[in-house]
A = this chain, B = another copy of it.
Amino acid sequence: MSEAIDLSHHLSLLARSRKASPLKDILAYLHYPGMVSLAGGLPHPALFPFANIDVEVYNPGSDLSSLVSSDTTHISVPKVNTEGGVSLAVALQYADVSGMRALLKYAREFTQLVCSPAYKNWDVLINCGNTDGWTKAVGLLCEPGDYILVEEYTFSSAQYLWIPMGCKGAPIKMDAEGLRADHLDEVLTTWDTTHPGVKKPHVLYATPTGQNPTGTLMPDKRKQEVYDVCVKHDIIIVEDDPYYFLQLAPYVLNAPASTPTAYSQSAHLASLEKTFLNIDVQGRVIRLDSFSKTVAPGSRIGWFTANPLFTERLLRASEVTTQTPSGWSQGIIIRLLDEWKLGGFLQWLHGLAAEYQKRRDWMCDGLAASFDVQPSTHDASLTAYLKGTQTRLFTFVPPRAGMFVWLKVFLHENKQYQEMKGKLEEPELDYEKMLWQDMADAKVLLSSGNFFLPWEGKEKMDREENVIFFRLSYSMTSKEAMQAAVQRMADVFAGAWS
């Protein structure tokens, strides 16, 4: 195993220009015996109006079917901790922007166990969640006006960061296994002829697990193919992977409910598709892990794993922008993880995935009940027909991870759309909006597919004819409400295709 290769040429001008604050140089002197510091600017912890916090936390194996579990234990953070553990006096003070030492240590151990990065000198850095992580990754790597490689359908909030910078997306086609390595290679190989005089992209934004919006899970083999293309074309991969532990068993149409088996950590870890980090022999992956989907979004905590050149530059950016994430969040999360131990956290994650799998099945079963659903002969997708008819409405791939189902709706047999074609400039967009509104009027709220189309500039974006998209989330709704919502969708489809 070797060290990361030199990737310094990927740094933006801004990232290269950052300097460490000179105030930091003082820190080395602080711990000299007998030293009295008049150098800092810290409020005295005696002036923090808190004496203790006590948090009632779930045990890792808690039953998650009710809103509040009673299978709990208590963790606390005292003002002062003479045993060297987390204290409010430290957690609520200005602090090392890398993150609390205990949390960094945990992130390192966790990453080693789960991702086993394929090079030696990787490092981790705490951030304020993956939105913050992506913001800092873009600041690290991108110049205004750059093209960024993105999936054909991409997480819309991520691009709302770089659109105002004058950046554009270079979309990479996807299939049921995520973004296609062959198309990535084609886009990059032909770049200079398809985009004469335009700087070649050098950053790929990818969400390989439970991709938002498509719900695809990229298998190990595909990851290796994508990685190889990135090596060939010298691309940095930003692996935004908040749903990594929400990997789900394949959906089986009309399957009986499965009985849960006893938890085994080794079986659990072995069941997971690997990460880009696992195969990152060169250090060209910036992985974004988050506690948002595994603990709670309001924690606003995640971490980078990357080569040390990148983490150092990211740290410089954090120092002058966000500083450290909330000390409340860090303190509570590290105490929770301490309490659970690594094994307990993994068991918790396994339980979470089971919960998402149950919900995924509710959704897919609901679709199978309200539509006539047929499996494909050549891939994992299902096709839905208007109940009792041969009218093909949409296909979807039952998600293998995350919280989203992505419907590709066919308009070939939709009269209203066919009448709009040729008369309107963007008939797919307009019809998608109309159908969305019909759904909303029928009391079912979807996410419009056009939200997830990569921004390629003001010129009219190429849209496939005769198709529109909707994203359905199964994370928040009860089984009954989900069934009702899907039936309302079926009724709207029936009306619109009549």
Contacts and interface: CB of A to CB of B under 8 A. Distances in A.
A476 B34 CA distance: 15
A95 interface: yes
B68 A30 contact: no
A153 to B, nearest CB: 14
A67 B52 contact: no
Interface in A52-74: 52-58, 62, 64-70, 72
A293 B43 contact: yes
B298 A95 contact: yes
Interface in A30-61: 30, 32, 34-58
B52 A53 contact: no
Assembly of this chain: how many copies? Answer: 2
B320 A300 contact: no
Contact of A69 (B17, B21, B51, B94): B51
A160 interface: yes
Interface stretch (A109-117, A418-426, A438-446): A438-446
A19 to B, nearest CB: 7
Interface string A129-173: 101100100000000000000000000110011011110000000
Interface stretch (A195-203, A257-265, A328-336, A380-388): A328-336
A107 interface: no
Contacts of A80: 67-68
A325 interface: yes
A47 B355 contact: yes
A41 B300 contact: no
A320 B23 CA distance: 30
Interface string A309-330: 0000000000111111111111
B329 A156 contact: no
Contacts of A43: 292-293, 296-297, 403, 475-476
Interface string A67-111: 111101000000110000000110111110000000000000000
Which of A92, A163, A296, A477 is most buried by chain B, counting CB atoms within 10 A of its CB?
A: A296
A481 interface: yes
A490 interface: no
Contacts of A65: 46
A358 to B, nearest CB: 11
Contacts of A32: 440, 443
A376 interface: no
Given A46-B64, A49-B348, A326 B297 contact: no
Given A23-B156, A79-B67, A36 B297 contact: no
A158 to B, nearest CB: 8
A479 to B, nearest CB: 12
Given A296-B43, A325-B326, A328-B328, A161 B320 contact: yes
Which of A51, A166, A481 is most buried by chain B, counting CB atoms within 10 A of its CB?
A: A51
A484 interface: yes
Contacts of A49: 57-58, 62, 69, 295-296, 336, 348
B38 A403 contact: no
A442 to B, nearest CB: 10
A146 B67 CA distance: 52
Contact of A445 (B37, B53, B476): B37
Contacts of A476: 37, 40, 42-44
A206 interface: no
16 contacts: A17-B166, A19-B160, A23-B157, A39-B446, A42-B297, A48-B296, A49-B296, A92-B297, A129-B323, A131-B321, A132-B321, A132-B322, A135-B321, A135-B322, A161-B320, A328-B329
Interface of A: 14-15, 17-19, 21-23, 26, 29-30, 32, 34-58, 62, 64-70, 72, 79-80, 88-89, 91-95, 128-129, 131-132, 135, 156-157, 160-161, 163-166, 212, 292-293, 295-301, 319-332, 336, 348, 352, 355, 403-404, 440, 443-448, 450-451, 471-477, 481-482, 484-485, 488
Given A49-B336, A67-B89, 13 more contacts: A36-B481, A37-B473, A41-B473, A43-B403, A48-B295, A49-B69, A52-B55, A53-B53, A67-B80, A157-B319, A300-B323, A300-B324, A328-B329
